[in-house]
Amino acid sequence: MSASQAVFSGWMEIPDSAVDDNARQYAEEETLAALVSQYAATLYRVAFSVLRNPADAEDAVQEAFMRVLRHRETLDEVRDQRVWLIRIVWNIVLDRKRRSKTRPETDDVSELARVLPSAGLSAEQIASAAQHHAHVLGCVEKLPAKEREVLMLSAFEELNSVEIASVLQISESSVRSRLFRARNLMAGLLDHTRSLR
Partner 1 sequence: MNTPDRKSFSNQTDSASDLSAAEATLRLIASLPAPEGLEDRIQAGLLAAPRKARILAWPAALTPSSGWVRAAAAATIVFVVAGGGWGVYSRVQQPPTAKVIVLPPHGAAQGGFSSAGAMRTPQTLNGPVLAHPAAAQPAGSKVSGKLPAPAAPKPLRHGQPAAANKTRVPLVR
Q: Which residues bind partner 1 (CB under 8 A)?
A: 6-11, 13, 15, 17-18, 32-33, 36-37, 40-41, 44-46, 48-49, 52, 54, 58, 61-62, 65-66, 69-70, 115-117, 132-133, 136-137, 139-140, 151-152, 154-157, 183, 186-187, 190-191, 194
Give the residue with the Cβ less far from partner 1, 107 or 172: 107
Give the residue with the Cβ less far from partner 1, 5 or 169: 5
- The CB-of-80 to partner 1 minimum distance in angstroms stands at 19
Helix H or strand E encompassing 193: helix 172-196
- The CB-of-89 to partner 1 minimum distance in angstroms stands at 12
Give the residue with the Cβ less far from partner 1, 65 or 84: 65
The DSSP call for residue 169 is: T
Alpha carbon separation from 173 to 119, 130, 162, 166, 180 (Å, rounded): 40, 34, 9, 12, 11
d(CA 151, CA 195) in angstroms, rounded, equals 23
- Give the list of residues 6+ apart from residue 84 with CB closer than 8 angstroms, or none: 78
Q: Is 142 helix (H, G, I), strand (E, B) or coil?
A: helix
Long-range contacts, 35-38 (Cβ 8 Å, 24+): 35/65, 35/68, 35/81, 35/85, 36/65
Give the residue with the Cβ less far from partner 1, 73 or 124: 73
Give the residue with the Cβ less far from partner 1, 79 or 117: 117
- The CB-of-24 to partner 1 minimum distance in angstroms stands at 12
- The CB-of-69 to partner 1 minimum distance in angstroms stands at 6
The DSSP call for residue 108 is: -
- The CB-of-177 to partner 1 minimum distance in angstroms stands at 17
